[in-house]
Structure formats: structure tokens, C-alpha cells
Amino acid sequence: MLKVMPIYGTRPEAIKMAPIVKALQESEHFECIVTVTGQHREMLDQVNDLFGIKPDHDLNIIQPRQTLNGVMTRTIEGLDKLFEEDKPDAVIVQGDTTTSTAGAIAAFYRGIPVVHAEAGLRSFDIFSPFPEEANRKMTSQITSLHLAPTSTSRANLEREAIDPKTITVTGNTVIDALLNVVEKKVPYSEPVLEEIEASGKKIVLITTHRRENQGEAMRGVGRALGRLADENPDVVFVLPAHKNPVVREAVLPFLEGKANVTVTEPLAYGEFTRMLAAANVILTDSGGVQEEAPSLGKPVLVMRENTERPEALEAGTVKLIGTDEERIFSEVSALLHDAAAYEAMANAVNPYGDGKAAARTVAAIAELLGVGERLPDYGA
């Protein structure tokens, strides 16, 4: 059996890697050696638990308020030892985290082919998102098989003179994961969320964590949320807080004591997607949420200056609003009070996948390693 090693470390990678791990485990060709770096801890374990994935290796590298260089060096050092012992035939990394790029570099230096899931996303600004735009560009340089989620991401890679034969368009595995969980309507672990959903009140669901927004921009987000909550007592604001203490210190002081604001710990994926489906407005700087919410027909206001995910922007369900306090206040207010503005954005679109991205991924890996053929491109 050929050894394929998925390497991941954060919540979003775990969600998007889970369908690939499952498909590899079901394949007759591959032994799947699940390796987590532990860049995240609780937020990573939460996803593995949900999908019933037990890692074969766990580098457990997380540190409080960790630095990018710390994550990079601890990952490369840990993986290098594992590669010596396990000798994988290929590794697969996902997206643009530091775990992902460190995994690609460590494998490349050992002569192990790198498979890159969610390849070819580009914001065209090396500092935003930081460091993800640089991470994914670096990974593309040393990847043997590029799994582009859409034809737009394929075109981005071709523009960078990546050999088209090494690119497959798979769709994004986040849609595989979403379809797997969203229909189950799991119970909420916090009773207050059941009450909120049952109340019939409008819900604004918020997530924020981006490094380039930390500091004053994120405090502006907190101030805007505080004002929105005061001005809209009949609307409920739900914020599952990222575990990062830097994020919590910036945003949460502005929300204390407000009856219509509910701050929770990170929600398990099934609960979060249930809340996505129940919410009216999504306010986020997340990458994955920009892919999921449109398929549920939810308007998404993105607190960033640019996006590497233009497809839902073009479809009109996503709007870039930046992090200016006044702009956040006015854009959320418009979606809460202007029915026409709401209807214009609340369209279910699915530009990111059809739920079969993991099958295309495994077929493409089989082709790379000489034991099969790839499937036709997603959307071909």
C-alpha cells in the first residue's frame, strides 16, 4: 500500500481535510497516516472528534500567543523526524496556514511529493491576508499536485506558469464537510443557543480572528458590535469567540453586560453550521465561512479589504466592507432594516463545490502515484 500523509494543524484545515482523510481510508490503494501539528488544540480536537478521526501522530506544537516563526520551526523539526521513520510516498497539505507551508517545505526538502489542497487562491496582496497570501504562494512553488477548488484558482496558478498538467479542479472539500453535517441538525451544547433559535428573532452571527485585523481594527469591530447591539434590542448577536486571547482582549470588552449579545466558546462544527443556517446576517473575516454561508443562502459581510474568494462576491452574496467601525455599523444596519438590500444578497449559490471534492482529490493522488486516473474537473 502507498503511504499518504495528510498534515494539518488548525480548525479550518481539519474541517477541510476530514473528507479527504475519510476517502483515503476507504481507498484500496492507500495507507492514510494522519499527522496533526497541534498548531491549534481545542479547536482542532473538536473537529477530529466530530468526524471520528484519531491522528497517528500529534506534534502538539501549540504555545500561548505563539509566533509564526515558532509554529514554522517546531513543525518542520517535528515532521522531519516522522518522515525519516514513516517514509510517506506523498504528503497532502491544505490551504495557507503556517502548518500547511511548513509541511510542504519539510516534505520537499526530503524529496517527498507535495499535494496541495485548496491551491491557487490569491488576494494579490502579499500583506493581506497576512501571512496566508505568502504562505500559499510559497507552497505552490514546491507542490507536485495542485488541487484547485475552482476554475478561477486554476487560472491563477496557470498565470504563475505552474504546469497545467499538474493542476486538477476538485471543488472545495469544505462543501463535502458542510453537506455531511448541516442536515443532521445536531443539538446545541449551550441551551441559550436553542432559546435564541426558537425565539424567532433576527440573528447576526459574527466570527473574527485575522492577524492583520488584530489591534485597533479589531477594537473597531468590537465598538461597532456594541453600538449595533444597543441600537437593535430585538436582534440577537451571537459571537463564538476564537480561542486566541489577542482576539478576545480586543473585542469582548465592548460587549460585556449586553442582554442581546451571546458570546460562546468555539462551537463544534455541526453546531456552528446549524447557527449559520439559522442566522440572518453573517459578519466575518473567516475564509471558510465565506465559502459555507453562500451555499446556505446567507448574506455575508466580510471584514476585510480584499478576498481570495471572488466567486461568491461575483454572485452577490458576499460583500467586502473592511474594518471601519462606521461602515460595519451601516452595512449591518442596512441588512437588518432594508428588505430590498437583504433580498439582493440572500441567494443560495454554490460556486465552491458539489460535495465530491474528496473523491476527485483521491483519484488525482492515485494518478500522481501511478495507481489510477484523475476524474474530470469540477465544473468541466
* 331 catalytically annotated: no
Q: Which is nearer to ligand UDP, 243 or 327 (CB)?
A: 243
* 13 catalytically annotated: no
> Per CB under 6 A, does 66 bind ligand UD1?
yes
Cell of 352: 465552491
CB of 99 to ligand UD1, least distance (A): 6
Decide: 4 and 279 in contact? Cβ < 8 Å.
no
* 116 catalytically annotated: no
Distance CA 74, CA 62 (A): 9
CB of 135 to ligand UDP, least distance (A): 11
Q: Which is nearer to ligand UD1, 40 or 74 (CB)?
A: 40
For residue 380, the SS3 value is coil
CA dihedral of residues 55, 61, 62, 64 (deg, nearest 10)? 160
The residue annotated as part of the active site, out of 13, 58, 89, 132, is 132
Closest CA to 367 of 165, 151, 96: 165
Span of 20-28, 221-229, 239-247, 251-259 interacting with ligand UD1 by CB under 6 A: 239-247
> Per CB under 6 A, does 98 bind ligand UD1?
yes
CB of 47 to ligand UDP, least distance (A): 7
The residue annotated as part of the active site, out of 209, 210, 274, 304, is 209
What is the DSSP secondary structure assignment for residue 253, as one 8-state letter? G
Binding mask 192-231 for ligand UDP (x = CB under 6 A): ---------------x-x----------------------
Subset of residues 12 to 41 that bind ligand UDP, contact rule: CB under 6 A = 12, 15
What is the DSSP secondary structure assignment for residue 45, as one 8-state letter? H
Distance CA 342, CA 340 (A): 5
Q: Which is nearer to ligand UDP, 89 or 271 (CB)?
A: 271
> Per CB under 6 A, does 274 bind ligand UDP?
no
Decide: 11 and 47 in contact? Cβ < 8 Å.
yes
Tell me which amino acid residue 134 is: A
Distance CA 123, CA 83 (A): 32
Residue 294 phi/psi, 5-degree rounding, is: -60, -35
Interface positions with ligand UDP (CB under 6 A): 11-12, 15, 174, 207, 209, 240, 266-267, 269, 272-273, 286-289, 292
